[in-house]
Amino acid sequence: MRIVMIGSGYVGLVSGACFADFGHDVVCVDSDDAKIAKLKAGGIPIYEPGLDRLVAKNVAAGRLSFTTELAAPVAAADVVFIGVGTPTRRGDGHADLSYVYAAAHEIALALDGFTVIVTKSTVPVGTGDEVERIIREANPGADFAVASNPEFLREGAAIEDFKRPDRIVVGIEDERARAPMEAVYRPLYLNKSPLLFTRRRTSELIKYAANAFLAMKITFINEIADLCEKVEADVQDVARGIGLDNRIGGKFLHAGPGYGGSCFPKDTLALVKTAQDHDSPLRLIETTVAVNDVRKRAMARKVIAAAGGDVRGKTIGVLGLTFKPNTDDMRDAPAIAIVQALRDAGATVRAYDPEGMAAAAPLLGEVAYTDSAYAVAEGASAIVIVTEWDAFRALDFARLKAVMATPVLVDLRNIYRADDLTAAGFIYRSVGRPGDGEPVIHPETVKIPELQ
């Protein structure tokens, strides 16, 4: 199949490279000259494990190419995917669909022969209808069908997710789109990956509903973690105990500083706005969004409490900045709110992240970046693990303690055991677990100046 991927960001580049690896002829199109130049030179604009090798392999095989010119590749394509960004729109919280609609208009002018146009971007219900209207208005004689095919990729494991998916969802209104979409995914379909065909609007809603449900699971266990701290229960055992029930499952039940990233924050908010527009409010998701927003600064209060209740003039070390490990993505990362709150409270912040510091620098203000966890710890009154990178899972406690002003470790990902840190001479705080001892100042009494 001849495939064009409009957009060479996270979704477009991963999807395009994987389609090429299936044997399809793929052209990735992007309006960003610098990005395309980097890809043509063998560079990768994002960090995703294994993506550099996959791209290089398929470029060398002649199955994957990159261009800023849309017209010729679209005219020759069987299937055109729209994989551009749909960020939160400033001012009202809705998904910004301007990039999707601009792509649809440009595609319309280049169509030649029957073509399936597929929204791969995460889009609100009814977007496919508008894409179809735009194309038909721009090119009344075009022969095409519009489908929905949402992605379900986890950053840090995107290639594995694409090649071994839980499901492949395709929404269509025109039956002529079915055969081309089956051909696109035939390598996976032969491996018995479930290929689910639905109506187009249903497909669009499946993506949002899935992300909102997972965000709700994270927020649920975070609130249970808060209760565990009050009643001396262990949230990790609670999560195991409920996760063994196959009606619930153990995934997304890891207590921490709240969800972030490119999907959950914007998708939950967009779903809330869509529901409100249709006079069918989703109260559970509205609460999920609100609780998650508050939690991030609450984690800063936990750090301040562990450091004695006042961090003015003190250095706090932050380990991990990206919203999750194995990515350089800083979008809505909990670290942003945590670092800001620590700085608001007067702390000097020193940080290290294996991949995310370049992306973090424009977002975090006056933060000193280092090249290791041990450099972060030098002179620090406390260090806080915000992102559970593998590099932070086997720290040398004696080496850390030797360079710290005060041996305090706040573990927001529950990587370590309290007994091990206590034996090493640390004051240790985690999330939702007993055995840490009472902090010097209870977190709820710590005041952080609110953002103006």
- Catalytic residue numbers read 263
Beta-strand (E) ranges in 16-96?
25-29, 64-67, 79-82
Asked whether the beta carbons of 297 and 447 are under 8 A apart, the reply is no
Distance CA 8, CA 359 (A): 18
Rg (CA), the chain: 24
Q: Are strands 168-172 and 144-148 parallel, antiparallel or unpaired?
A: antiparallel
Distance CA 188, CA 427 (A): 50
Distance CA 420, CA 265 (A): 35
Around Cβ 247, how many Cβ atoms within 10 Å?
A: 5
Q: What angle do CA 447, 269, 18 make, to 5 degrees?
A: 115
String of DSSP letters for 265-306? HHHHHHHHHHHHHTT---HHHHHHHHHHHHHHHHHHHHHHHH
- Rounded alpha-carbon distances, angstroms, from residue 264 to 87, 304, 357: 11, 27, 22
Q: Are strands 79-82 and 64-67 parallel, antiparallel or unpaired?
A: unpaired
Distance CA 183, CA 216 (A): 35
Token digits for 222?
A: 């975070």
String of DSSP letters for 91-141? TT--B--HHHHHHHHHHHHH--SSEEEEE-S---TTHHHHHHHHHHHH-TT
Please measure the distance between the N-terminal and C-terminal CA atoms of the chain and give it in whole angstroms: 53
Asked whether the beta carbons of 196 and 51 are under 8 A apart, the reply is no
Whats the size of the chain, residue-wise? 452
Distance CA 176, CA 144 (A): 9
Around Cβ 127, how many Cβ atoms within 10 Å?
A: 24
Residues paired with residue 165 on neighbouring β-strands, in sequence order: none
- Determine the angle formed by the axes of helices 283-306 and 334-344, rounding to 10 degrees: 50
